Structure 1
Amino acid sequence: MRTNRIVAASAALILAAAGLTACGDDSASTGAAGDAVTVKIGTTDADQKAWTAFAEKAKEEGINLDIVKFSEYPPVNPALDEGQIEISKFQTINYQAQYNASAGKDLRIVGSGEINILGLYWKDHTSLDGIEGEEVAIPNDPSNQGRAINVLVQAGLVTLKDGAPTLTPTPADIDAAASKVSVVPVDAAQTSSAYHEGRPAVINNNFLDRAGIDPQSSVAADDPNSELAEPYINVFTVRAGDIDNATYEKIVEIWQSDEVTKALEEDSNGTAIQVKRTKEELNEILDNLTKDYS
């Protein structure tokens, strides 16, 4: 995910910059239990199968999702803070922490979604055999760079210097003498080019399909259950006063349903793994990361 420095703007500017449109039925429908609740939720992923399944399942549960589409990440958090939407599902904990720190806000997490596994790909190879001494291309943007390095750490290919930041390492934090490979930071879009040139590369999921790379062909990947992966859990975000809203908690539960999970797996070619963590755990991770960025 691309990291941007976010500055809160007026609601009017937010809506204009996002180029957002609402979809779905604004009027609440009536179910067996009475009038359905309408919730305005913002996302950048509304066109995915998972979101269609999500809206259908929510309607069955008496929640009418008024999905607000954003074309890019930066306007979503300010829109939530200004009340243009009620809840969002588009970002990782890491991205939210950077927003809270840079904008001086206190948006909170009401529940977890999935984590998208980040993999190391090496053309015409099915294992790490022979990789020692190779240069590995990694994304150069701050958020993905640190995570890519940790993929290599978990694979036993890179060792960090004593005292290096655990969650957000940079190439300067790598102990070259103790590592089996070196890293070459490049634009995230160029990692797939490095792969096709025969170099091992850590490649973001959104570049795999367009580059004709099988997501299941990675020779190494991060562990979604590892502490190192925690900042990259996708989350449902609300304003602080809504942290205990029962409807929003129900929305999280619906996202974790079998129907949505199946559609999510299809969208991601099996690289998205649902993560179930309590909101207390998620907000503790958020607060620790926010401190690091403050």
Structure 2
Amino acid sequence: MSLKKRGVIAASIAALAIAATALTGCASEPASSGDGGTSEGPVRIGVVPGGQPYWEVFVEEAAAEGIEVEIVDFNDYPQPNPALSAGDLDLNQFQHIIYLANHNVEANDDLVALGSTVVYPLNVFSEKYDDIKDIPEGGTVAIPNDESNRARALLVLQSLGLIELKDGGSATSDASDIVAENSRVKVTELGAELIPASLPDVDAGVINNDYVEPAGLDFADSLGSDSADDPAVLPYTNIFAARAEDKDNKTYLKLVEIYQTNEKVQAALKDYVGDGAVLAKLTQAELADTLAEAEESYRATK
């Protein structure tokens, strides 16, 4: 791994913390098969939030390959990892590598990144303005309050000329790093899931990809975002996560392959996000190395 990549991960890790939330109501037997063979029964995959239409296509295409899949919907980010660890899920697909690294360290867990999916640029939306330049001096922009997205959102706002951060900002930045006298807008923090409904009350909001379409928003209306080509965005590559004993599970690996290569699944995903997602195909070795490095860097900050 390059020193540049190490630096990006180390900086990203320092910003993260996850609140552990208990899951209820998912007590069915898991379909896990830790010996690397195929699984029996439906493979339960946790996603946040529920209802994305491309998962329906994914389920259909998996069935065509002889794999029964059940999508389990969650309302917020802290739930799916504890559910996976407890055996209430077989996989989840909602988080990036850095988020998983933070979970593993904080919860003393050993979940693994089974396969990469996409990188989602982080977008700014407004119900009041059609151009980022129209947001008025002294306006208010809502950003996610979870630490894994707060710093990233601030960097997006800086790149769009709305705020200035001390020393140019970093993956550890928070609201205290905003240079108020050199910033056009104020920032307010909300739960990521609350920002879409709060758009009428603010001038703009930085909205995580998962909540865009369910809120009736269109990626084409984004006022701006960061870029998947930026090395600083690399640690935010989204993944399928699994329990460590399932890292060689053939059924689960086949599901990753279906997500990455099936034309119908990719078409449905593109129809959902437009150009808002960039497919990422990292090998398992690359994912394991990145996750291990991220966990090591995170522990060094504690």
TM-score, normalised on structure 1? 0.74
Task: Decide whether the 8 Å contact of 1:194 with 1:200 is kept in 2.
Answer: no
Task: Decide whether the 8 Å contact of 1:112 with 1:277 is kept in 2.
Answer: yes
Equivalences, count: 271
TM-fit CA distance, 1:195: 4.0
TM-fit CA distance, 1:125: 3.9
Q: Give the match for residue 19 of structure 2.
A: 5
Task: Give the distance between the partners of 1:85 and 1:187, measured in 2 at CA.
Answer: 28
SS of aligned partner of 1:277? coil
Matched, 1:138 2:152: no
Match of 1:235 among 234, 239, 243: 239
Q: Give the match for residue 151 of structure 1.
A: 156
SS of aligned partner of 1:251? helix
Larger radius of gyration: 1
TM-fit CA distance, 1:243: 2.8
Task: Give the distance between the partners of 1:66 and 1:265, measured in 2 at CA.
Answer: 21
1:59-74 alignment runs, 5 A limit: 59-62=63-66, 64-67=67-70, 69-72=72-75, 73-74=77-78
Match of 2:265 among 237, 253, 260: 260
Matched, 1:57 2:57: no
Q: Give the match for residue 275 of structure 1.
A: 280
For 2:145, the aligned partner's letter is N
TM-fit CA distance, 1:201: 2.7
For 1:146, the aligned partner's letter is A
Q: Give the match for residue 220 of structure 1.
A: 224
Q: Give the match for residue 24 of structure 2.
A: 18
Aligned Cα root-mean-square deviation (Å): 3.5
Q: Give the match for residue 110 of structure 2.
A: 106
Higher strand share: 1
Distance 1:104 1:20, change over 3 A: same
Distance 1:124 1:272, change over 3 A: same
Which 10-residue stretch deviates more, 154-163 or 246-255? 154-163
Distance 1:52 1:247, change over 3 A: same
Matched, 1:181 2:184: yes
Runs of at least 5 residues in structure 1 that lack an aligned partner in the other structure: 8-13, 27-34
Distance 1:244 1:225, change over 3 A: farther
Q: Give the match for residue 29 of structure 1.
A: none
Higher helix share: 2
Distance 1:119 1:203, change over 3 A: same
Runs of at least 5 residues in structure 2 that lack an aligned partner in the other structure: 1-16, 32-36
TM-fit CA distance, 1:187: 1.8
Matched, 1:89 2:103: no
Distance 1:198 1:175, change over 3 A: closer
Q: Give the match for residue 167 of structure 2.
A: 162
TM-score, normalised on structure 2? 0.72
